[in-house]
Chain A
Amino acid sequence: MEAPAINIRNLNFQYAENSGVVLKDFNFNVALGERFGLFGPNGAGKTTLMNLMTGVLQPVSGNIEVLGKNITTDEKSVKKLFGFVPQHHSLYPELSPAENLEFFGAWAGLNRSETKERTKELLNVLGLSHVADKPVSKFSGGMKSRVNLAIGVIHRPKILFLDEPTTGVDVQSRHAIIQYLKELNAAGTTLIYTSHHLSEAESLCTQVALIDEGKIVAKNDLPTLLKEHQQDGLEGLFLSLTGHSYRDS
């Protein structure tokens, strides 16, 4: 049987010994090939979970497996399997898209010719060929987001983590990004995605999990969840499960 994309067992996490527990006895899995949406209010634990799954944070206890490999004990080989698209444009604005991709491609494990070939392909697919050699600092938010996405997928990862990839992006760029993500998924890449754009999430995600106060409050495919909770959209479902009160942290 093929290993799930993500398999988390009895995970416990807190930022410091005297701080509150963020995740307690947390269990979670994502099947291969899914377009998985992870939603929840501010401070629910989404980013912490994303950081734990990508190895940025170390769990206090418990087990996180990515495609059957433990992220703590098998860190280097696991990191070759996934890509990460952070919410902020984590790139070098002084460099051009081609130069950014050259650097991150090498660091993701590609050789010179693979990097060159993949850079050309991605710039073309994401509509950045005409600005391939211009510094990213001169780009619009949408263009920067497309470069940010290109960096995350340069090494053809089997799993792609996306933390609000379309925040602050114009409609055209958002459409291009969502379209490209669907193409990636069709080619076999598992997507794990967070966003506050719930309508966008409805069109992208095949599976949804709602997380609140470090716990999964609902997880299933979207039509089943809507039916179970008698809602006609993700936003209604979100509010019915997490309430209307502010979550200012």
Chain B
Amino acid sequence: MYKLYTAILKELRIMLRDKAALAVMFLMPVLLVVVITSIQNSGMKMINDNTVPMLVCNRDTGESSAQFIDALQKIGMFDIQQTNPALTDKQLTDTMHTKDAMIAVTIPAGFTPALNYKAQKLTGKALTEFGMEGKGPVDTAFAVKETPPISMFYNPVLQESFRLSVNGALKSAQQFTENRAVLQALYAAMSDKQLPDSLEQEILNNKSVITQVPSAKDGSRKTPNATQHNVPAWTIFAMFFIVVSLSTNVVKEKVSGSFIRLKTLPTSFLLNLFAKQLTYLGVTLAQVLVIFSLGIFLFPHIGLPKLVLPESLTSLLLVSIACGWCAVSYGILIGVYAKSMEQAIGFGAVSVVILAAIGGIIVPSFAMPEALHLLMKISPLHWCMEAFNTLFLEGGYIGNVLRSLLPILVVIAIMQVAALLRLRKMRLL
């Protein structure tokens, strides 16, 4: 035990004296998790809570366009600002940039009469179908023209999915306006009286309600947020980034000749390897503690959602240990194969970024192209992310994370065996 104690003490002392490595292991992930969560949180807020600035250039003078704008406003997605109707399309898009509006909509001149004509025509058709005749004359002023289209201008940075939902909202408002016109025309054709407002509202707004409920494995109905996704994701990234420090530590021992000296001592070299793994596993768990504590205690004070830990803390500890051990095994593997510090640092850092990218840390796995889905499965970070997601986003327990833990354990076994084979070839075992 004294040998193991001195070996762990040696590793800790070396680590604590390397300020740059400490910064990479603790400061960098802390900054990353705060910055990325803030960015994603504001993005989510913009979509979920805030209204999107929209410019509306109404070139129509009738009431249908006003009703259309009113319908758009009621959807609640947009912060509508009406512009001077005389603006050209070019002037309108320029105004978009100066006013930071992501979307602009033009309602063409003649929108109301065209819509009214369409409504009266549809009404006449419907009444004829029923063998009835309407009372009022059809306004033929726009008879030869199609309803002029509403145009939407958008900032190209707008994600396609978001653009499609804006388009859906516009169509919904347009449908509402058209339905209203048809309803009014139908009523006017059949009666001398005006359609009462209350009846009109009842007919137009009588929609079935769609309730949306998040469903987690534990049966809870918590809504996932940027914190619940980003804190575990960037913690995994931080855990794997220790490969830079660990692999250079191994290479240093190799090139300085300490490996050879240890080989001449009456203690198994495996103990040195074990002590290293134990020390760095402790570091990864410390990273979990630090980053999760930030999520719990700091985030609410800087306007970010508080991190809510899963109910099963034992499962969380097991997943953290498995992910940490996987990261440590990768660091040892790179260290024993790398021939120089430069190789270890370069390959270690770049490979972790690539594995994080294909593993769903930087971009969520569901948003990745189909072609990358198979590749994603070779990244140990993907399996770590899956295990953490099961706990944090789906409220899972140990039974639920086993499916992700098993591939992690297989990866650990492969990396450990590969490292031991290399050390054997180097005559150190």
Contact = CB atoms under 8 A, between A and B. Distances in A.
Contacts of B256: 88-93
Nearest to B268: A76
A4 interface: no
A107 B6 contact: yes
A244 B14 CA distance: 46
Contact of B261 (A77, A84, A93): A84
Interface string B227-256: 000000000000000000000000000001
A126 interface: no
A95 B264 contact: no
Contact of B427 (A56, A93, A94, A106): A56
Contacts of A77: 266
Contacts of B262: 107
B265 A108 contact: yes
Nearest to B272: A107
Interface string A109-123: 101100000000000
Interface in B359-380: none
Contacts of B260: 51, 56, 86, 90
Nearest to A152: B261
A135 to B, nearest CB: 7
A56 B257 contact: no
Contacts of A58: 427
B266 A76 contact: yes
Contacts of A24: none
Contact of A80 (B9, B13, B263, B266): B266
Nearest to B263: A56
A61 B256 CA distance: 29
A94 B263 CA distance: 21
B263 A55 contact: yes
A92 B260 CA distance: 13
A202 interface: no
B50 interface: no
A95 B427 contact: no
A151 B265 CA distance: 11
Contacts of A104: 261, 265
A239 interface: no
Nearest to A91: B258
A54 B13 CA distance: 29
A102 interface: yes
A103 B10 contact: yes
A79 B264 contact: yes
Contacts of B265: 79, 104, 107-108
Contacts of B5: 106
Contact of B266 (A51, A99, A103, A109): A109
Interface in A61-88: 76-77, 79-80, 82, 84, 86, 88
Interface residues of A, number: 33
Given A57-B427, A90-B260, A106 B6 contact: yes
Interface residues of B, number: 23
A162 to B, nearest CB: 13
Contacts of B7: 103, 106-107
Given A56-B427, A90-B258, A94-B14, A107 B3 contact: yes
Nearest to B18: A94
B14 A95 contact: yes
Interface in A103-151: 103-104, 106-109, 111-112, 135, 151
A76 B269 CA distance: 12
Nearest to B7: A103
Contacts of B201: none
Nearest to A135: B17
B263 A92 contact: no
B10 A55 contact: no
B198 interface: no
B257 A103 contact: no
Interface string B1-44: 01101110110011001100000000000000000000000000
Interface in B17-75: 17-18
A90 B14 contact: no
Contacts of A103: 6-7, 9-10
A76 B263 CA distance: 11
B257 A102 contact: no
Given A88-B256, A91-B256, A135-B17, 7 more contacts: A90-B261, A94-B14, A99-B13, A102-B6, A103-B7, A103-B10, A106-B5
Interface of A: 51, 54-58, 76-77, 79-80, 82, 84, 86, 88-95, 99, 102-104, 106-109, 111-112, 135, 151
Complex A-B, nearest 4 residue pairs according to Cβ-Cβ distance, in ascending order: A90-B257, A79-B266, A106-B6, A90-B261
Interface of B: 2-3, 5-7, 9-10, 13-14, 17-18, 256-258, 260-267, 427
27 contacts: A55-B264, A56-B264, A79-B265, A79-B266, A84-B261, A86-B257, A88-B256, A89-B257, A90-B256, A91-B256, A91-B261, A92-B10, A92-B14, A92-B256, A92-B258, A93-B256, A94-B13, A102-B9, A103-B6, A103-B10, A104-B261, A106-B2, A107-B3, A107-B265, A108-B266, A111-B2, A151-B261
